[in-house]
Structures are given as structure tokens and as C-alpha cells.
Structure 1
Amino acid sequence: MYFTHADDIWTAHPGLHALALSVDQLTSAESDQAQLHDLAERIERRQERLAEADMPEIAAWREAFSRMGLKPTQYRCASEALLRRYRKDKSLPSFHPVVDYLNHVSMAYGIPIAVFDTAHIGSGITVRPATGTEGYETFQGAVENPAPGEVVFADPDGHAHSRRWTFRQSARSAVSKDSRSALIVAEAHHDSADADLAAMEDELKAGLSVLGATLGGSTLLTASHRRFEF
């Protein structure tokens, strides 16, 4: 299987950096409350220092959304949406031990993280402009067709696994209690993205192991290294 970004994405967003990991044994994963507590403290310290719009990681994603012709106050990257919800409620709903952990890591770093059940992404995912024919499954059971040119996570079978890049993930590949393996992707545009994603890679390797999941491979993606195979 694979994960990659199309050439059009690198051309439009030359400062993009990404981290991709594969993970197995999800059915054995169990929550670690001490780990979540430590991450929650980091999140609160981050929010005490800056408003979401002023965080470099979020500001860079807002610029990326503007380049795509989207209003960044209308469509927010996933990490900003999580942080805003957490600032208001001081908690998040629980979905799955791995998803809960990744949501907290995403907020602690200010970087959006997507996780896909590999049983539902065909042979892999390419982040690319939509053709307009892809099907995106909502969590309400509807199927939408992203407009031509909208950036999506697409598989070769015509399924879109996100809308507006990191705005909203599809129900089709969401991790559930029955998921066995997953692809994890974090993407960033800010100046220190390479160093921050390298630190996140180390943290995820350790943290996922604590949960009982098994890490497969991982790699940092740049314009000169664009493909992750697993």
C-alpha cells in the first residue's frame, strides 16, 4: 500500500511537510489515561500562550486554505477545530483508544493528524485535486461529490476520504473497534514543520506502543521524498 501527494499539491504548497506511519494490532489497543493527562496539560499550556489563530502551525494552514480559495474562518483544519472545541469544553468525546490519543497529540502539536482504516482505502491514498467524480461518505450516511479541484485524500477506486484536504474525514475509512490496521498522516506548512514532525514521529512510536498497537513503518515526506510504501 502507499501514501503520497500529487505533483500539483507540491507545486501549490512547496513548504509542505508530512509524516506517514502504518500501525497494526488496533484491536489490542487500550486507552492510557496517564498519557492523555500529560497531553492535556501540554494542550492547556499551548492554549494559555496563544489563541488558535496565532499559533504558527494553525496560521500556516490558514494560509494554505486561502491559497485553495477557501475562507479559513469557515473551513478550519482538523487541529484548529479540535483545539477550539477543547478550549470550550476542556474535553473531547471518546471514539477509540488510538483515535483519542492521536486527537490529543494533534492538539499538543497544533498539527492535523488523519487516521484511516487500511481495509477501506484500496491500495493506497493520494492527496490530490478532485476530478468531481469521487464519492465522499458523510457520517450521516450521505454520499457527496467534491467539486473538481478540491483537495481530497483519494484512493484508486474513486473514494474521497476527506473534504477540503484536512477539513473533514470520510466515514468510509474511519477507525472503529473492528479496525485491525491503519495509516496515520500528519501534515504541516509552518517554518519548523520538519523538526516538529520528526519530534511527533518519535512521540507516536513510543505512545502507540504504550497503547498496545504495533508500529509498522514510518517516514517523513518532503518535496524530494514524496511516497510512503507500507
Structure 2
Amino acid sequence: MRIIVSSEIETVCPGFVGAAVEARVVNTEHNAALWSEIDTLAERFRAEHTTETIKQISGIDATRRVYKACGKDPSRYRPAAEALMRRIIQGKPLYRIDTLVDLVNLASIAYGYSIGGFDAGRFEGDTLTLGIGREGEPYEGIGRGMLNIAGLPVYRDAAGGVGTPTSDNERTKMTMETRHVLVLINGYDGDEGQVMANARYVGGLLAGYASGRDIGITAYRP
């Protein structure tokens, strides 16, 4: 996929850097070793953070600032990484969906970036463009129903929105039938080193837990 960062995003976040991880995979309903890794990280996270300190994590702080710059309240439409971290700190169990979704959530918690995980076979066209959501733009968030994405950063393919830092779209979500994934890491803090480290971490998780092969990692920016 070709990924374009629009001038809309460049205006509110000129230092944006993203990373795309693409791979052929095999999904499973549950992976015990993966969940052992998730539980270990969650335990450490609860010991080190509060619901206030997570807002100071670079990726989360930057995403919240971009939300505000775009006109969205980040406390009402929380970035996914922050929402996952809050669940951990509040002692709530993380959702167990399937191995692909679970490992993307782990990678998001580990680095603090909101990460989109997509079934690449469900995209329309060969280009994704990162822009800003418009009033009345239709968007069905995964497990959330119709979501008001006005003022949210959004990736669009030829048919419309597929991913925001708050929720990805039902149309392109990963399922048990997914064999080709595209994972997008959103570095609104402009820290290319951390973004690429997160991408390599995702690649390792895909290889270790989802039989990942033909793994490719690419950086993109305005």
C-alpha cells in the first residue's frame, strides 16, 4: 500500500512519522505464550503508572495534543493506547479477541502509540491517505457502532475511512480469516527511533505468535 500523509495532518503535526508493518500471517483464537507476555507487561505497568502519568507518555501526550488541534476532545474520544492503559491501571481485564488483535494491543501498550491493525485484503484501492475526519462522514468503529470521526485523524482508502487512533473500522478489521496484515504505527510525537523500534517489535510479535513471514517495515511522513 502507498501511504500519503495529507497537508491537513502536516499542518497540525509537521513532525509526524509513521511506520507500516506488512506481513503474511496465520491467526489463532488464543495464544497462551502471548498472553503470558501481556500479563507480565500489565503487572509492571500497574506498578509504574497512574491514569494521570500515562498522559505524560510521549506518544499519548502528542496524540492528545493533535486531537485538540483538530477540534476533538481526547478525554471523550480517547486514543486507543491510552484506553488500553487505563483498563490495566483500573484493574480491568484486557479484551481477548484473537491473536492478531491481542498482539497489536500489546505493542500499543508497550510503546504508547495508537496502532491500527488491518486485513490488507479488505482495502479498496492501493492507497491510504491520512487526513482529518469531516462532519457527517460515515464510520463504523469496531464494536462501537457509528462513530463521529469529525476532528479525528483518519486513514482513508478508496471507499472511505478505515482507521483512527480511537477505533479502526469494521470494514477492514482483522479476523480469523485474515492472511495478510498491515499494521500502522502513528508517531504524532515525531520520535522516529521509537516508532521504528515499535514497528520492529510488531514484526517480532507477528513472527513469534502469528507465523509471520514476508515481513516488511516502512517509515512514512508528510
Which TM-score applies when normalising by structure 1? Answer: 0.81
Work out the CA distance in 1 between the residues paired with 2:54 and 2:148: 30
Say yes or no: does 1:135 pair with 2:138.
yes
Could you tell me which residue of structure 2 aligns to residue 7 of structure 1? 7
| Conserved? CA contact 2:154–2:162, under 8 Å | yes
Structure-2 change in CA distance of 1:218 and 1:139 (3 Å): closer
Partner of 1:173: 172
- Of 102-111 and 53-62, more deviation after overlay is shown by 53-62
**Mapped partners of 1:47, 1:7: distance in 2:** 35
1:213 match: 212
* Aligned residues of 2:142 and 2:168 also touching (Cα < 8 A): no
User: 3-state SS of the aligned residue for 1:172?
Assistant: helix
The residue number in structure 2 matching 1:122 is: 124
Residues 164-217 of structure 1: per-residue CA shift (max 9 Å, x gap):
x312221111111111111100112226x2111121122222221111122432
Q: Verify the 8 A CA contact 2:21 2:217 in the aligned structure 1.
A: yes
Q: Distance in 2 between matches of 1:63 and 1:3?
A: 23
Corresponding position of 1:17: 17
1:79 match = 81
Q: Partner of 2:117: helix, strand, or coil?
A: strand
2:197 partner amino acid? A
Deviation at 1:8, TM superposition (A): 2.2
Query: Does the residue aligned with 2:71 lie in a helix, a strand or coil?
Result: coil
Q: Could you list the runs of 5+ residues in structure 1 that have no partner in the other structure?
A: 224-230
Cα deviation digits, residues 103-161 of structure 1 (max 9, x gap): 011111111111011122212321113455753224469556754x653221112x212
Aligned AA (2:129): T
Distance 2:86 2:215 in 1: 32
**Residues 16 and 189, structure 1, Cα contact 8 Å, conserved in 2:** yes
Identity, % of aligned positions: 23
CA contact (8 A) 1:19 1:187 kept: yes
Classify 1:199/1:73 alpha carbon distance in 2 versus 1 (closer, same or farther; 3 Å). same
C-alpha distance in 1 between matches for 2:44 and 2:23:
24
Matched residue pairs, number? 218
Partner of residue 157, structure 2:
155
Q: 2:193 aligns with which of 179, 192, 195?
A: 195
| C-alpha distance 172-37 of structure 1, shift in aligned 2 (>3 A) | same
Mapped to 1, the partners of 2:54 and 2:107 lie a distance apart of 15
Deviation readout 1:23-72 (Å, 9 max, x if unpaired): 21234696233433443355345526972222222111111111011222
Letter in 1 for 2:20: A
**SS at 1:169 equivalent:** coil
User: Secondary structure at 2:195's aligned position in 1?
Assistant: helix
Conserved? CA contact 2:5–2:221, under 8 Å = no
User: How many angstroms does 1:99 deviate by?
Assistant: 1.2
Amino acid at match of 1:84: R
Whole-angstrom CA distance in 2 between matches of 1:48 and 1:143: 31
Contact 1:208 1:215 in 2 (8 A): no
Aligned to 2:221: 222
Two-structure CA RMSD over aligned residues (Å): 2.7
CA contact (8 A) 1:46 1:108 kept: no
